[in-house]
Amino acid sequence: MLDDFQEKAAALDESDPLRGFRDRFLVPDGSDVVAYLDGNSLGRPAVATAERMDRFIRQEWGHRLIRGWGEEWLDWPQVVGDRLGQVALGAAAGQVVVADSTSVLLYKLARAAVSARPGRGEIVLDVNDFPTDRYVMDGIAQECGLELRWLATEPAAGATVEQVADAVGPDTALVVLSHVNYRSGYLVDAEAITRIAHEAGALVLWDLSHTVGSVPVRLDEWNADFAVGCTYKYLNGGPGSPAFGYVNQRHHDAVRQPIRGWIGHRDPFAMGPGYEAAPGVRGMLSGTPPILAMLPLITGLDLLEQAGIDAVRAKSEQLTGFAVELAEAELVDRGVELLSPRDPKRRGSHITLRRHDFGEFIAPLWERGVIPDFRTPDGIRIGLAPLSTSFAELHRGLSVLTELVDERSER
Ligand X SMILES: *Cc1c(COP(=O)(O)O)cnc(C)c1O
Q: Up-side HSE of residue 255: CA atoms within 13 Å toward CB?
A: 28
Is 132 among the annotated ligand-binding positions? yes
Interface region with ligand X, contact rule CB under 6 A, candidates 127-135, 283-291, 308-316, 341-349: 127-135
**Quick one: which of 172, 209, 340, 399 contacts ligand X (CB under 6 A)?**
209
Q: Does 236 bind ligand X (CB under 6 A)?
A: no
Q: Does 358 bind ligand X (CB under 6 A)?
A: no
Q: Are 102 and 243 in contact, with CB atoms under 8 Å apart?
A: yes
Interface region with ligand X, contact rule CB under 6 A, candidates 107-115, 116-124, 126-134, 321-329: 126-134
Identify the CA nearest to 218 among candidates 210, 209, 227.
227
**Quick one: which of 78, 102, 211, 257 contacts ligand X (CB under 6 A)?**
102
CB of 135 to ligand X, least distance (A): 10
Identify the CA nearest to 365 among candidates 325, 397, 321.
397
Q: Does 211 bind ligand X (CB under 6 A)?
A: no
Q: Does 227 bind ligand X (CB under 6 A)?
A: no
Q: Does 231 bind ligand X (CB under 6 A)?
A: no
Q: Does 182 bind ligand X (CB under 6 A)?
A: yes
Interface region with ligand X, contact rule CB under 6 A, candidates 61-69, 97-105, 266-274, 366-374: 97-105
Q: Does 288 bind ligand X (CB under 6 A)?
A: no
Is 262 among the annotated ligand-binding positions? yes
Q: Is the dihedral of CA 189, 190, 195, 197 positive or negative?
A: positive
Q: Does 103 bind ligand X (CB under 6 A)?
A: yes
Q: Does the active-site annotation cover 83?
A: no
Question: Of the residues 24, 120, 355, 381, which is catalytic?
Answer: 381
Task: Give CA–CA dist 216/213, Å, rounded.
Answer: 7
Which residues have C-beta within 8 Å of that of residue 286, sequence separation ≥ 6? Answer: 99, 100, 108, 257, 259, 260, 261, 263, 264
Task: Give CA–CA dist 84/377, Å, rounded.
Answer: 35
Q: Does the active-site annotation cover 56?
A: no
Q: Does the active-site annotation cover 171?
A: no
Question: Of the residues 108, 233, 315, 354, which is catalytic?
Answer: 233
Q: Does 373 bind ligand X (CB under 6 A)?
A: no
Cβ proximity to ligand X, 98 vs 243, nearer residue: 243
Q: Which residues bind ligand X (CB under 6 A)?
A: 101-103, 130, 132-133, 178, 182, 207, 209-210, 230, 243
Residues catalogued as catalytic: 130, 207, 232-233, 381
Q: State the binding site.
A: 102-103, 130-133, 207, 210, 232, 262, 288
